[in-house]
């Protein structure tokens, strides 16, 4: 088996129809490319759940703000394709901006998920999740998969997509893949390569802080105290903190009290110009 590359919507639909006629189950992993071991773990997970696996690479302009890194986002197509081929991905979908937005970006129909999209990362990156929801909805319509696999590192994105799929009635299953980490705990991300050597060493403090937030919560420390400590600890390490918070996982609202149940600690913080996000789910008894 060798990786097939398709750029047009019509070719993608034809291949999907062929697989469906053969009775194959189809899994989909949307990405922006510059693939690392975290992405390839999602491909492996998808391979275990379906007969056919599609990966898309599309750096989506509508989810980047005016001062963000769209133009310099790493584009490594040939290396990505080789990695996908080795991971036994069946098809690489490479749509252009014109394929994804045939009427142009300014006239594009937008998909928005109220509530979940305007908090946390949404508050610091206005319009970001409308861009995410819009492009993912379009990709689902084109690929028509039975299931789609998303990494858990982008926890808010995962919840936005789950909500969208449920509310709009997409006939597919959303599967969460575990966050893949470096040996020091740093969550793998394409943006990690922006860090210099000293910043890369400090970046591991994010996961250490998440672990401490979980331990403090489980020990009964008040939410405001945990969050105040986490923000101060990160700032002392040289981070510019967007947020370090505790939330309920399904709706990302503040927990009424840290009693029994699942919670998630979430951090977004910058080292220099590089914005890093991570999270950790934990149970309170």
Residues of the chain under the 70 pLDDT cut: 1, 257-259
Q: What is the pLDDT of residue 5?
A: 98
* Dihedral angle over CA of 195, 198, 199, 204, nearest 10: 110
Nearest to 226 by CA among 240, 205, 211, 204: 211
Q: Is residue 285 part of a domain?
A: no
On whether both 33 and 159 belong to a single domain, the answer is yes
Q: Which residue has the tokens 């189950």?
A: 25
Domain containing residue 160: CATH number: 3.40.50.620
Q: Is residue 76 part of a domain?
A: yes
Domain containing residue 264: CATH number: 3.30.1300.10
On whether both 110 and 44 belong to a single domain, the answer is yes
Of 177, 202, 233, the domain-final residue: 177
Q: What is the pLDDT of residue 261?
A: 86
On whether both 39 and 101 belong to a single domain, the answer is yes
On whether both 123 and 257 belong to a single domain, the answer is no
Q: If you count them, how many residues does the chain have?
A: 285
In tens, the pLDDT along 53-76 reads 999 999 999 999 988 989 989 999
Give the separation between CA 58 and CA 77, rounded to whole angstroms.
Answer: 10
Helix (H, G, I), strand (E, B) or coil at 149: strand
On whether both 208 and 154 belong to a single domain, the answer is no
On whether both 164 and 211 belong to a single domain, the answer is no
Q: What is the pLDDT of residue 67?
A: 83
Q: What is the pLDDT of residue 260?
A: 77
Residues acting as catalytic residues = 39
Q: Is residue 242 part of a domain?
A: yes
Helix (H, G, I), strand (E, B) or coil at 150: strand
Six token digits for residue 38: 């975290």
Which domain covers residue 157, as residue numbers? 4-177
Check: CB of residue 153 under 8 Å from CB of residue 179.
yes
Q: Is residue 164 part of a domain?
A: yes
How far lies 5's CA from each of 73, 111, 128, 279, in Å?
Answer: 21, 28, 28, 34
Q: Is residue 183 part of a domain?
A: no
Number of folded domains that form the chain: 2
In tens, the pLDDT along 204-258 reads 999 999 999 999 999 999 999 999 999 999 999 999 999 999 999 999 999 876 6
Q: Which residue has the tokens 């129909």?
A: 109
* Cβ-proximal residues to 223 (8 Å cutoff; 6+ apart), any chain: 217, 246, 254, 255, 258
* Cβ-proximal residues to 104 (8 Å cutoff; 6+ apart), any chain: none
CB atoms within 10 A of CB 158: 19
């Amino acid at each position: 088996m060798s990786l097939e590359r398709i750029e047009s919507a019509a070719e993608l639909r034809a291949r999907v129809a062929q697989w469906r006629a053969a009775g194959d189950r189809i899994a989909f992993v949307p990405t922006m490319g510059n693939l690392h071991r975290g992405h390839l773990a999602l491909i492996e997970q998808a391979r275990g759940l379906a007969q056919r696996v599609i990966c898309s690479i599309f750096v989506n302009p509508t989810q980047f703000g005016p001062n963000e890194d769209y133009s310099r986002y790493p584009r490594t197509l040939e290396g990505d394709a080789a990695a996908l081929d080795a991971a036994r991905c069946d098809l690489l979908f490479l749509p252009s901006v014109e394929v994804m937005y045939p009427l142009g970006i300014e006239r594009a129909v937008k998909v928005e998920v109220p509530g979940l999209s305007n908090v946390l990362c949404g508050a610091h990156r206005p319009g970001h999740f409308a861009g995410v929801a819009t492009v993912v909805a379009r990709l689902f319509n084109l690929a028509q998969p039975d299931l789609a696999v998303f990494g858990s590192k982008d926890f808010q994105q995962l919840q936005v997509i789950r909500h969208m799929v449920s509310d709009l009635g997409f006939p597919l299953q959303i599967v969460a893949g575990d966050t893949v980490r470096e040996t020091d705990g740093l969550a793998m991300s394409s943006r990690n390569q922006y860090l210099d050597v000293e910043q890369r060493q400090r970046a591991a403090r994010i996961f250490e802080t998440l672990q401490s937030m979980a331990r403090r919560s489980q020990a009964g420390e008040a939410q405001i105290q945990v969050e105040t400590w986490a923000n101060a600890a990160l700032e002392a390490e040289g981070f510019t903190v967007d947020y370090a918070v505790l939330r309920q996982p399904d709706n990302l609202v503040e927990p009424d009290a840290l009693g029994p149940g699942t919670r998630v600690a979430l951090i977004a913080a910058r080292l220099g110009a590089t914005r890093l996000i991570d999270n950790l789910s934990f149970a309170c008894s």
